[in-house]
Structures are given as structure tokens and as C-alpha cells.
Structure 1
């Protein structure tokens, strides 16, 4: 439908890569909705050109910043201040209903049914389930809501320094009023849940429709060998199940990189794809406490001791 759209946000070229993969994954899974990407002024011209090939609308917006360094420092994520820019999505009033998706999400199945939901529908956050995660949510653009949100920010700020704190405070009845506005977790499956509740991931993970790469390390932070179909990087900073990370890179390498190469022409473009394997230095062993802390932060060693295969072996041994 022309008056319904998936919306995302990219404030720089790295997040633009994520938006490209997200948009392409929506196309690959045959969405019937419009695709909109809001971009900040720091997104380069080549990236903008590629986004225009994938999205129906590329909309330049001002970057809003919460300026709340104290709360962001508490979360160890000073970069989240610019996520306030996400509030611009309520200004897209030429659409009747939209689904916002962070640029670090990946669609692995058609999700057009999300438009059957009402504002504000979202999945619970794995860190505090009475709060929703603002990486995926259904909303209705409205100038009135947009103005109220900006006023709310001015008067109250955000309890976490980012957009999620603002939106949870503004839509404060989400946890208790209407269960129909609680999206199933498969629409915003996060890495934290994969490692903190492995049996549930084993049971329901294959039904995932949207994967959210939470944490500091994003898919584009790694490197990829297309021939070997392998992803390499700091495994201690891994942010999701390896199969999902591989799927992100497969979309990026097969669809996005050719477009980027055309736009850059003779200019050098570092795609992150490598032709040859390079040895990965061994990682230092972790104490039990350090390993626990990394789990709690969603930074498990998914390619090593915390791989799903190893977790499964421990579960099988325990159940026997």
C-alpha cells in the first residue's frame, strides 16, 4: 500500500550500510509496502545514491541529540544520543501507518503482517521486559504526536539518554494496557536472548522474522570472505548467532557491494569483503566472572566456547 511504509534511520555511512542491507532484505522477502530511509547530513553522496536504488524515499533530516552524557555513559553507549533523530519518523505524515526498524536489524521473513498492529506495538526489551525495545515498532505518523514528543524531550529528557527511554516514558502504558501491542519476540530477536535463554532459542529461534544486532559491534564491523562464506572479527565482541551474521553479510556482499562499487567508480571503497583468509590471533582466556559479564552485555564468544553447539552439548549433558 502506498500510504504504509517501513522506515529506518542512518546518521552516518556505517549505519547506511545497515540500512542498505535492511532495505534489500525487505525487498528479498517481497514486501508490498513502501520503504523510507531518513538520513543525516554526514551520509556520503555514494551511500545516498545506493540508498535511492533500494528505498522509495530518502529523506534528509536534522540530527537531534539528547545531550544526556550522564545516562549514556552509564550505558557505555555515547553514540546513542543521535538516536533521538528517530523521533522525526512521526513527521512522515504522508503515510497513515509505518513500522520503524533500526538499521542494525535484518529481515529473514516477510513481516508485512506487522501493519495489522496499532501504535505503539513493539517487542519487550530483553534487559527489562516491562519496557519495549525501540528497534522495531508500529506507529502512526502525526504532527500532534511529533510535537508532543519533542516537548516531552524538552521537559523530561530520557531515562537512558536515548530514544528508547523517551518512547517508553511517553508510551508509558505499553506494559499493562493492551497485550495486542506486545509483539512476539520473533519480530525483534536479540543476541542477548540467544545466550541468556538458549533453550528458548533452540525451541523458537527458527521462527525468527527480524534479527536485531544489539551491542557495540555491528555486522559491518567484521570482515567477510565470500569464497569461504566465513565472517571474521573480534569474536569476544560478537553480537549475534553466526548464522544470522552470515546471512547479513551474504545480502551485503551479493546485493549492496556491487551497487557501492558502481557508485564509487575509480574511488577506493573498502567493502569489508576479503579475497583471502588471514590468520586470526588466539584470544586470551577469560575468567568465569569476565565470561559472565560478557554474557550479560550480549558479547558472548559465539564462535568459541559460547557457540550454540557447545551450549547444546552442555544442555544435553545436564538433561541426561
Structure 2
């Protein structure tokens, strides 16, 4: 797959994730990727950080953000997932590329993984745990009809994929179909992961080439829960995903706050941030830090299923924006 028509794609919805995207871009360049870097950003990213994103990435695109000022009709708030979902789906509109790999802005590349562009559409890694390790299963007689060697992946829910890393082919048809699917069916987990797993529901039955090894999306929860596995597979780890509240840009490294369960990958992220990003930020004041923490807390509320129903996350405005986008196509 040539690099002229392929790209790594990420999304920044606020200044915190913009900082994450900058470090992600430098991590990709550090490992010698030959593919373009493309960032999507929303109006939640400050003007100065937008400029930094445009400097570091090969290409950038501003995408629509939902800005609700009116009170939601509580009777209609049955789908609080659509806001997050809507924004991420814009990656399918980048039809200037033949193939892309989407990486969440809280991922960090530690080894070259350009081979992902040779994977078919749609490819992703199973969700959480360390599903490449096998556990023995028993107490079901039908298992005797299975071939040798048969086993179940380790914990989590590995029949679904994690949407922090996935290979896809941009397509306006797919984008429109996803929007229609979101409006009609919503999301079973309140976010883009539930929607994409429902839309690409055949993933678990597809050819094995569509299932990425966990080493392409190693979550920090697995790092702490599976220390032995991390040690065993460390040389194979290529992409780390900082899931949860302990985002590397929120940790007070100097004071020691939040360092109790800090991984070596957090320190690698911080080292690259210090060398390549921190000194070039337009504002490193406490005001920026406070803003980043506030914005990240809002996104965490979305992930936890507790959005601001009456404010910025009004369902009426989310649904309206999605329907308007469909009409524009």
C-alpha cells in the first residue's frame, strides 16, 4: 500500500485531546511511518492549538461540533450516545485516501506498524483484557464437537472490537449509512464503540485478517491487570491505548500526583511530550491545565453514560445536527 493515498487519522475534540494528538503524531514520526498524518478537530480546540495541529500534521480538517444552548425535551432523551458518535464518524468522509488507520488521540505508537495498511477493511482489535491468551473452558458437552485446539479468549468481551484503533476505507456511502444507523438504532454502550460494533456486526465471523492482535491496541488497564502478560509480550507491543481517567496529559509528573499506578508507557509519553510538544505550546499556564481537565471530564462523563442532558449535550440538538448532515449529502 503506497503512502500517497493512505493516512493515519485521529480526532481532537478539545485542548487536552489536541495535546494527545500532537504527541501521537510525533510518536508515529519517531517510528518512521511512511504514511500521511491527518487530524480532525472541532471548535472545542483553541485557536492556538489548532495552529499547532496544522503545523505538525500533514493535513487537518475541522468537523462540525454540536453546540446546544436550549433545554432538551426530557421525554426524547433516549439516545445520549449520538454526540460522541457523530463526531468520530467524520473520518469516513476523508475520501481523498484509499485506506486509513484511525487512532484515538489517547493512543501512543511505540513501534512501526505501517503493516496495518495491508489489512483489509474493516480491521480492529478485540476489546480489553489480553484476548490473545487462552483460558480452558469446560462444563459444556458440545465442546467435544470442537476441533483441537479450541479455547476462549481471556476476559473482557472479545467478541466486540475496541474502536481506539481500526483500519477502514473512507466512503461517503458508509458515512451516510452509519448516520442513518445511528439515528435509527443508537448505540448499545452509549458511544461510538457500540454503534460501530453493531454496524460491523459480522466482524467476529470474518476472516482472521480482520482481527488485529491485541499488541496493536494494548490498553493501560491490561498493563496493570496482566503484568505477567505485559512482560511476556512487551517486545511485540506496538500501540498503547491510555483508556480511562489517567490520561497522560493530566498526570502531575512533577508533584507525584496520580503516579501510584503509572506505567512505563506513561513515562515514555511524557518524555516525548517534554521533548517535542511542551516547549512549543502557545500556553502552558495553569489556566490551560484547568481548561484541559474540565473538557476531559466532560468527555469522561459521556463515556460513563452521564452527559449534560440540559446543556451542551442536549439530545434535540444532537439529533438535529445529524439529520442536517444527512440532508447535506
User: Where on the TM-score scale, by shorter chain, does this alignment land: which range?
Assistant: 0.7 to 0.9
Asked whether the 8 Å contact 1:11–1:42 carries over to 2, the reply is: yes
Q: CA deviation at 1:192?
A: 2.1
Q: How does 1:279-318 map to 2 (within 5 A)?
A: none
Alignment length (residue pairs): 254
Q: Identify unmatched segments of 5+ residues in structure 1.
A: 73-77, 226-230, 273-296, 298-320
Counterparts of 1:152 and 1:16, CA distance in 2: 29
Give the CA RMSD over aligned residues: 2.5
Of 181, 197, 205, the residue aligned with 2:226 is 197
Q: Cα–Cα, structure 1 residues 221 and 151, in superposed 2: closer, same or farther, change >3 Å?
A: same
Q: How does 1:1-320 map to 2 (within 5 A)?
A: 1-63=3-65, 81-126=83-128, 127-225=156-254, 232-235=256-259, 238=261, 242-260=263-281, 263-264=282-283, 268=285
Asked whether the 8 Å contact 1:25–1:107 carries over to 2, the reply is: yes
Q: CA deviation at 1:234?
A: 2.4
Asked whether the 8 Å contact 1:107–1:209 carries over to 2, the reply is: yes
Cα deviations across residues 118-159 of structure 1 (Å, max 9, x unaligned)?
Answer: 111010001310000000000000010000000000100000
Counterparts of 1:198 and 1:246, CA distance in 2: 17
Higher relative contact order, structure no. (Cα contacts within 8 Å, ≥ 6 residues apart): 2
**TM-score (ref. length: structure 2):** 0.72
Q: Identify unmatched segments of 5+ residues in structure 2.
A: 129-155, 290-303, 305-329
**TM-score (ref. length: structure 1):** 0.74
Q: CA deviation at 1:249?
A: 0.5
Asked whether the 8 Å contact 2:253–2:259 carries over to 1, the reply is: no
Counterparts of 1:41 and 1:47, CA distance in 2: 11
Q: Cα–Cα, structure 1 residues 224 and 235, in superposed 2: closer, same or farther, change >3 Å?
A: closer
Asked whether the 8 Å contact 1:64–1:83 carries over to 2, the reply is: no
Counterparts of 1:250 and 1:243, CA distance in 2: 11
Counterparts of 1:270 and 1:255, CA distance in 2: 21
Counterparts of 1:64 and 1:165, CA distance in 2: 20
